[in-house]
Amino acid sequence: MYRVTKVLNHNTVLAFDTEDHQEKLVLGKGVGFGRKVGERTTFSSEVTVYLLVQQGRGDPKDLVKRIDPVYLDVANGIVQAARSKFGEIDTSILLPLADHIAYAAERIRKNEPISNPLTADIQALFPEEYAVARVGHDLIREATGLDFSEDELGYIALHIHSSLDAMRVSQAMQMAALVRECVELVQRETGMTIDTASLSYNRLMTHIKYMAARILKGEKLSMDVNRFMRESYPRAFAIAAEICRHLGDSLKQTVDEGEIGYLAMHIERVFELQGHAPQAE
């Protein structure tokens, strides 16, 4: 049983759960229609109920009341799309996501959109999250008439990724930036330009992404190919060692030495697939 505490619009209400004694955000088509404050009610299984979770500064109840309910509804649609795509996710992204979309919409209306230098990297690193963000684009346009750019969708994809990997949006952004820096380091050390549309490029980016995640979690690889890669492909190994040093410094973590040889294998594959032979010196 719930007691309605505030009606935000026809699709959004705040309600006090009389069983666990917590105020919750309830979203669903027509859920607020005809409701009155203080009314005791039950909700159908078709609505979505969110616990108001403290995230960062500020009272989440105040945040709910500050955000236009239109954006809460849009964010809910994106969260539901993510749940359909990935299964279980952290639904506490709802308020930060709604707040971000509302702020982005305000910038777009003022003709002050922001760029995202990592959009291409986010698309490559988090393709499924980006696909859900595209669903969000349609929801936003339908609700507001606004078109969000690819750059804005990149930021939404990061929010979605944060719901899957217990990673803050800022950490996901850092991850994308680090992967870009590492790929640029490979290009700089070899003097070659990697085809960003190639399978080898995407494999390299994906490997670095998961390697950075392992470093942050303190996980170690069970496979050690360092000796073989150092002797057989010294240049790829040297570049891999430099990348691992850079990642360790940036993440302020110790990097398992076994990562070097494994990364060198991917770098050597890039060389081979793009027709370069950097070992023949």
* pLDDT tens digits along 102-124: 999 999 999 988 888 888 888 88
Q: In this model, does residue 192 exceed pLDDT 50? A: yes
Ranking 62-71, 180-189, 197-206, 238-247 by mean pLDDT, the lowest is: 197-206
What is the pLDDT at residue 171? 79
Q: In this model, does residue 216 exceed pLDDT 90? A: no
**280 closest CA partner among 242, 226, 244, 236:** 236
Radius of gyration of the chain (CA): 23
Tell me the average pLDDT across 149-176: 87
Q: In this model, does residue 273 exceed pLDDT 70? A: no
| Domain total of the chain | 2
Distance CA 13, CA 2 (A): 11
Is residue 184 situated within a structural domain? yes
Tokens of 229: 């890669």
What is the pLDDT at residue 7? 93
Is residue 1 situated within a structural domain? yes
Is residue 87 situated within a structural domain? no
The residue behind tokens 């991850």 is: 175
Is residue 222 situated within a structural domain? yes
Range of the domain at 39: 1-51
Q: In one letter, which amino acid is 167? A: M
Is residue 89 situated within a structural domain? no
Place 279 in a pLDDT band, splitting at 50, 70 and 90.
Answer: very low
Tokens of 175: 């991850």
**What mean pLDDT is reported for the chain?**
87
Is residue 263 situated within a structural domain? yes
Q: How far is CA 215 from the centre of its chain?
A: 18
CATH number of domain containing 204: 1.10.1790.10
CATH number of domain containing 33: 2.30.24.10
Is residue 23 situated within a structural domain? yes
What is the pLDDT at residue 54? 61
What is the pLDDT at residue 274? 58
pLDDT over 70, % of the chain: 94
Place 55 in a pLDDT band, splitting at 50, 70 and 90.
Answer: low
- pTM of the prediction? 0.77
Place 76 in a pLDDT band, splitting at 50, 70 and 90.
Answer: very high
Is residue 111 situated within a structural domain? no
Place 63 in a pLDDT band, splitting at 50, 70 and 90.
Answer: confident
Domain boundary residue, one of 9, 25, 51: 51
> Model confidence over 7-45: pLDDT tens digits?
999 999 999 999 998 989 999 989 999 999 999 999 988
The residue behind tokens 């009341």 is: 65
